[in-house]
Structures are given as structure tokens and as C-alpha cells.
Chains A and B, each alone.
Chain A
Amino acid sequence: MKKGDLVLIFAVLIFAVCLFLPSGSSENLIATIYVDGEVFETIELSSVSTSYEIEINECVLLVQNDGVSFISSTCSDLLCVNRGKLTSSSSAMACIPNNVVIEISEDSSSFHAVAY
């Protein structure tokens, strides 16, 4: 076997292994807004070039390309507004009195759930 053949063997093998390696994490965050238990909107955050507001169920949400926050709500405790911006994947926050939930997930999320 020639040197060139060995190179060929290794090249093909490396190519084959690369095919099976997990593709690099995309960091592609998906925000899902639930209203009254139903999916209201699903947003791919990387596609949000200009931040915008969503008004729903007496709440105002601010959607940015790195997360989503409640910026106002008619609820009395304002726990949702005080929570700040939700940015990490596999997590969620809610305005419970107004039944609005924001969930951030990642296609390649490595967790099944979060204990808190």
C-alpha cells in the first residue's frame, strides 16, 4: 500500500466521522408565548432585528433578539415584570393572574426540565 493510499483512507475516514459528529450548537433560541394554555406565538429570536412589543391578556411583552420580558401587566403583584428579561433556554416565566407564559427553548437543548 502506498503512502497516497493511506492518505486517502484517512481522508475518507475523517470525512465519514465528520458526517456523524453533532453539528455545532446553533444557539438558536425559540420563544413560545402561551395565552390561556394555548400557543399564541412562536418566535425565532435570532430573526428579531428590531425589538417590538406584544399586547395580550392585559400584559405587554417586549421581544428582543436575546430574550423576552414582561414590561407591564395589570396584575397586582407584578412578579412577572420584576422578573426581568428571560434569556436562558429551557426556562419559562409567567404572569399567572393573566395566564400568559413565556418559554425559551433551544432546538438542541440539552435539558429536559429545570428544577427551581
Chain B
Amino acid sequence: MKQKSRVFSLILVLALLFALIYLLNNNESVAYDSDDNISIAMNTMINSVIYCDNGEFEEYITDIQNVVTDLENEISWTIDGSDIDILNNSLQVSNSDLAQVIAVCLEVSELTGGCFDISIGDLINLWDISSGSEIIPSEDEIILAAQNSGYEKISIIDDTIILSESVSIDLGSIGKGLALDEIEIYLEQTDVDGAIISVGGSVLAYGNYNDAGDTWQIAIQHPRDENSYIGVLKIDEGFVSTSGDYEQYFEVDGVRYHHILDANTGYPSCSDLISVTVVASSGLLSDALSTAIFACGSEYAQTLLDYYGASAILIDNELNINVIGDLDFEILD
């Protein structure tokens, strides 16, 4: 009898063990093969992680770099012969894709009363904060550069972009997002299962990284501690862009002069927000909206996000976090 009970116990234990192993294995997802690379293009870092079984990783990574370089040659205002260079110098250029992009930018400019503006190339050049300059320009210089800007001087007729006066178009605020849009178009033509691509901190989450379709986890930079993250955003796919006052800035007499300028004042924007992360259906929108909401302030957020069907995480100067829209965002301690 004693012996029987022992055998029974053993069988029970083994059965439970196998059931447990089966359950755990059954829930375990299988990650796709992956490879990653960091390169520099568009004056920023391109961090590509590609997930694909039996994929030609090197080819994908090279192609992605080429997609970004091709776009840069088209939209960089500092590259001779780019469409934006032609536009700035000849006051008009025909390019249907570019016309659509600029139409969206003009719409955001109108919705923000000109606070977001792509025609402030002269002001950006004057401050030159992205190049590490720490000089506050004179009032006269700022007024002059501000006069040479204004989105209302840009119009679009069919596929042609026309400037009524000489203004300097600078697509720096949306260039990274545009690159991600082009990369998404490229990835859709490949066998890649999933990819997470960061172009200078703007992120595209594409497809899946495992066969369970688990969400992508994207850390959001802490705006006041460069070596930590303020939270983790979980998304199935989409575009994520963050704008803040902490990436490129200098301080004079306790005032922080950062690289995102308010077109209406000619100075670095001074809203109630220090970091804005937007999740949108395109890189153009996530970049444009994060810049616009950061520059113009939280009062513009709901309207802009509703209009474009986007969501956002707003952080104010007391590090209060406000999540707008249906986002899975976990705040880190």
C-alpha cells in the first residue's frame, strides 16, 4: 500500500511537471533573427535593428542608409542642387511628394498661428545652436531674420511650391520623420518581419520582432537626466517622435536657450512643456506635431492631436506627465 502511494505520488508529480512545461513552452514566443547597425547620415545617428528569418541583413541595412542619403540629397537646404536649395534660390520647384509634405507643414503652421514654421532657416542659421554655438544674437539680428520668414509666403499650386518672397525653407524639424516614412515604404517591399529604426531619436516601429506579435518597447529620454529614461511606451507599430529642450541647448544667466525656435518671437520657444512625445501614423506627423506642441504649449495639444488622430505624452517643467490619447505608457521611477 505504501509502495502504491509512492508510485502514485511520483506519477502525479511528473504529470504536473509535464503540464507545467507544456504551458510555459506554449506561452513562449519565438523571436525572429535580428541584426543591428548604427551609422551616420542626415547629420544624425541612424540606428537600425532588423528582425527577419533568413534575411539579407547587410543588404537591408545598406538600403536603409541609401534611402536616408537619397532623401537628404533631396530635402537638405545645405546641399547644393537639392530641391529645397533650388526652392530657396529660385523661389519655386516642382516635386509632388515635397508639395504634399509642405502642404501638411503649412496646415500645422496655420493651426498653431505660425508658432510652428518651416520658413525660419535664417533664424536657425543665426542662432546655430545645433552646431554648438552659445551666442545670443542681437535683437536687431533676430528681428531681421524673423522678417525673412513667414509660412504665409509659401504657396502650392498643383505640384509646384512657390515662394512669394525669398525665405529660407528648412525641413530640419521634420526631416527625421520623413526619413522614417521613406524607410517604411522600403521595408514594405522586403521580406523583413519587423524593424525598429531610429533616425536621430525619431523612431519607426514596423511589423513584429517575434511570432507572438508582442508590443515594441520604446524608452523615452528623461528630460533632466541624460543617462536615464522617464518611461516606456508600448506600441504595436507606428512612429514616435520626441521634442524637448534638453538635446541641444546652452544656458546664460540661468536661462536655457534650446534649438527649437518659436517663429513668432525669433527666440527659442518658451512654452509650459520641456518634452513632448507624439505617436502618429507617419513620421512627418509625429515630428511636426511633437515640435509644434513643444514650441506652442500644452494648450495646442488636444486640438492638434484630435485633428490628426495622434497621441502624446507631455512633460512640463515640474516633470508632471500628461498622457493624451490611448497610449500604453509606463512611468519609470
On A, residues with C-beta under 8 Å from B are: 1-2, 5, 8-9, 12-13, 16-17, 20, 32, 34, 37, 76-79, 82-88, 90-92, 94, 96, 99, 101, 103, 110-116
Contact = CB atoms under 8 A, between A and B. Distances in A.
B9 A112 contact: no
B218 A112 contact: yes
A90 B8 CA distance: 51
Interface in B216-257: 216-221, 226-229, 232-233, 240-242, 244, 247-248
Contact of B16 (A9, A87, A92, A96): A9
Contact of A112 (B201, B217, B220, B244): B217
A23 B8 CA distance: 33
Point out which of A13, A83, A91, A114 has the most chain B C-beta atoms below 10 A from its C-beta: A114
B284 to A, nearest CB: 16
Contacts of A110: 217, 232
A78 B198 contact: no
A101 B200 CA distance: 12
A34 B233 CA distance: 27
B47 A92 contact: yes
Contacts of B202: 115
Contacts of A82: 132
B13 interface: yes
Contacts of A113: 47, 49, 196-198, 203, 205, 216, 218-219
Contact of A116 (B6, B217, B242): B242
A84 B277 CA distance: 24
Contact of B226 (A16, A34, A84, A101): A84
A115 B219 contact: yes
A59 to B, nearest CB: 13
Given A113-B205, A114-B221, 19 more contacts: A9-B13, A12-B13, A16-B17, A16-B21, A37-B39, A37-B65, A85-B227, A87-B227, A92-B47, A96-B44, A103-B47, A111-B232, A112-B49, A113-B47, A113-B218, A114-B203, A114-B229, A115-B201, A116-B242
A90 B36 CA distance: 12
B131 A34 contact: no
B212 interface: no
B43 interface: yes
A53 B185 CA distance: 42
A88 B277 CA distance: 20
Nearest to A100: B40
Contacts of A32: 38
25 contacts: A13-B13, A17-B20, A34-B39, A37-B38, A37-B65, A83-B226, A84-B226, A87-B227, A92-B45, A94-B38, A96-B40, A111-B218, A112-B209, A112-B218, A113-B49, A113-B205, A113-B219, A114-B221, A115-B198, A115-B219, A115-B221, A115-B233, A115-B241, A115-B242, A116-B242
A85 B226 CA distance: 10
B12 interface: yes
Nearest to A94: B45
Nearest to A67: B227
Given A92-B38, A96-B44, A115-B240, A5 B227 contact: no
A91 B228 CA distance: 9
Contacts of A9: 9, 12-13, 16
B47 to A, nearest CB: 6
A103 B198 CA distance: 13
A84 B132 CA distance: 15
A83 B249 CA distance: 11
Contacts of B47: 92, 103, 113
Contacts of B16: 9, 13
Contacts of B233: 115
Interface string B128-141: 00011000000000
A78 B217 contact: no
B5 interface: yes
A12 B14 CA distance: 9
